[in-house]
Amino acid sequence: MESPTSYFTHLPDTRIEQCKEHLNAIEDYGKAKEAWLRQYLRYLQSVFQRP
């Protein structure tokens, strides 16, 4: 079974740079706090990772 993201990898990223930076900051925070977050949240896999 293919990953759902595989259907969208060919599409261009149309987000403006400011939004990309904000989402990157959220991603970085999640990765930095993963162990702490796992105490309170159940993850099916891991923190979201880009392909």
Position 46 scores a pLDDT of: 57
Q: Which residue has the higher pLDDT, 23 or 40?
A: 23
- Domains of the chain by residue range: 14-51
* Mean pLDDT value across the chain: 76
Taking CA atoms, 19 is separated from 22, 43, 46, in Å, by: 5, 25, 23
Position 51 scores a pLDDT of: 46
Q: Which residue has the higher pLDDT, 38 or 49?
A: 38
Percent of residues in the chain assigned helix, strand, coil, to nearest 5: 50, 0, 50
The tokens of 19 are what? Answer: 């939004």
Confidence of residue 32 (pLDDT cuts 50, 70, 90): very high
